[in-house]
Amino acid sequence: MTRPVQQRAFGVAAGLPEEVCGPLASACEEAGYSSIWANDHPYAKGLETLAEFAKGTSGIELGVAVIALDRQGPEVIAVDIERLGLDPSRLLIGVGAGFSRKPLTFMTEQIGVLREKLPGIRVVMAAMGPKMCGLAGAEYDGAFFNWMTPDFAADARAKVETGATEAGHGAPPVFGYVRTAVGPDAADRLAKEESFYRDLHDGYRNHFARLGKPEGTVGVAASDSADAQRKLAAYDALDVIVVRGLASARIEPMVELARAAAPA
């Protein structure tokens, strides 16, 4: 199977200050990133951050990953896209099960509603475990990984490809957040971010237990740009590496990090 050339994207936490969004998105577009992403959480909507990114760019794709569908359903997402004037052709909408008790069943049921409410928009599914990876490959426009080592991502990718094969079509693209910090405090930034997620809920607790890696080692903590590029290259299982920037939410440090981790 011939895979497309790997792309690189940049990602931030939703709610990034408006005065940072435009210059950062513009810098990412100039640096050759294929897309720019925001997450989504109870205190800030990722789509609103994408709307700010859109003001500073002309063609870079805009992604949100992930929106928990047990908190915001497809109807709400559709209304927000219309309200914010986002161009559907530029969008990648990442969705997840949130705290659903039966996530596999829930996400299987949701794909039909998503197709109805978001026609023509690419919808990618958050996936960690083997069954969810298989479903993403079979029914969605892509799989979105989070907090994985390169080896774990390779195994998860294989499950996506199996799901696609069993469904009778080619595998969709695999995206993934790779937390990335560069500079003398990089290790501390990565450890702080990872520590928060490791105990966020049972899903993450179980996932990190499966990884079996010590705290502060899942992602990239680099001394400089060359070190960051070398470590990011290990994630060759991903079709799109989404560099999740761990830097102060100000223009200079965010742009500096984006340039350090930019595609060659």
- 12 in any annotated domain: yes
- 111 in any annotated domain: yes
Q: Which residue has the tokens 């990090």?
A: 257
pLDDT, mean of residues 123-137: 97
Query: How would you classify the pairing of strands 143-145 and 7-12?
Result: unpaired
Neighbouring C-beta atoms of residue 99, cutoff 10 Å: 12
- 250 in any annotated domain: yes
Task: Give the rounded percent of residues in the chain with a pLDDT score beyond 70.
Answer: 100
- Would the pTM of this model clear 0.85, i.e. be above it? yes
Where residue 243 sits, what CATH number does that domain have? 3.20.20.30
User: What is the spatial distance between Cα 36 and Cα 26, in angstroms, rounded to a whole number?
Assistant: 10
Contact predicate 186/253, CB 8 Å: no
Token output for 21: 């969004």
Please tell me the predicted confidence (pLDDT) of residue 58.
87
- 2 in any annotated domain: no
- 91 in any annotated domain: yes
Contact predicate 260/228, CB 8 Å: yes
- 1 in any annotated domain: no
Q: How do residues 134-172 score in pLDDT, each as one tens digit?
A: 999 999 999 999 999 999 999 999 999 999 999 999 999
Give the mean pLDDT of the chain. 97
Q: Does the pLDDT of residue 62 top 80, yes or no?
A: yes
Contact predicate 36/25, CB 8 Å: yes
pLDDT, mean of residues 41-66: 96
Task: Give me the domain span that covers residue 116.
Answer: 7-260
pLDDT, mean of residues 205-216: 95
Q: Quick one: how far is CA 111 from the chain centroid?
A: 19
With CA atoms as reference, report the closest residue to 96 among 136, 138, 68, 129. 68
Please tell me the predicted confidence (pLDDT) of residue 215.
93
- 26 in any annotated domain: yes
- 205 in any annotated domain: yes
Count up the domains in the chain and report the number: 1
DSSP 8-state secondary structure symbol assigned to residue 170 = P
Alpha helices for the chain (secondary structure H): 18-31, 46-55, 74-84, 103-117, 130-139, 150-167, 186-198, 202-211, 225-232, 251-260
pLDDT band at 219 (very low <50, low <70, confident <90, very high): very high
The counts of H helices and E strands in the chain are 10, 9
Contact predicate 90/61, CB 8 Å: yes
- Total residue length of the chain: 264
Q: Quick one: how far is CA 83 from the chain centroid?
A: 23
